[in-house]
Amino acid sequence: MFDRPTPEQRRQLEAAGVASGLGCSIVVTMIVFIGGGVALDQWAETTPWFTLLGVALGLVAAGYQLYELTLVGRKDRGAGPMGRQIAKMPIPRRGTGVRNGTPARKADRHEE
């Protein structure tokens, strides 16, 4: 079967998970801002001003999300709002009786 990951491998996997989640968040942010700018341009017939504004706002929002990503792993500084939310997320541990962030019922646990 598979060996359990070492603590270093586990830390790397957790960091990759956080990074991929924030990467998807950045993509969605850019799509929303640029799409909103295009829609406003079509509605107000002001092409390309709102699209350019959407690109600029999207880049600012993406930059802020990247800044938050740098704060997640730092020990010397407190994390920002997104980092605090990530830190609150429960991580289910194998063999501890915790499933989906909530304790399992006694009947669900398998005693070894």
pLDDT tens digits, residue range 71-111? Answer: 766 766 655 666 556 666 666 555 555 555 555 555 555 54
Stretch 54-64: mean pLDDT, rounded? 95
CA angle, residues 98, 12, 21, in degrees to nearest 5? 75
| 18, 50, 53, 92 from 3: Cα distances, Å | 23, 53, 51, 18
More confident call, 68 vs 74: 68
Burial-class residue 36 by CB neighbours within 10 Å (0-12, 13-18, 19+): middle
d(CA 65, CA 82): 8
- State if pTM tops 0.85: no
- Each domain of the chain, given as residue ranges in start order, spans 8-92
d(CA 32, CA 27): 9
Residue/partner pairs of 34-42 with CB below 8 Å, 24 or more apart: 34/58
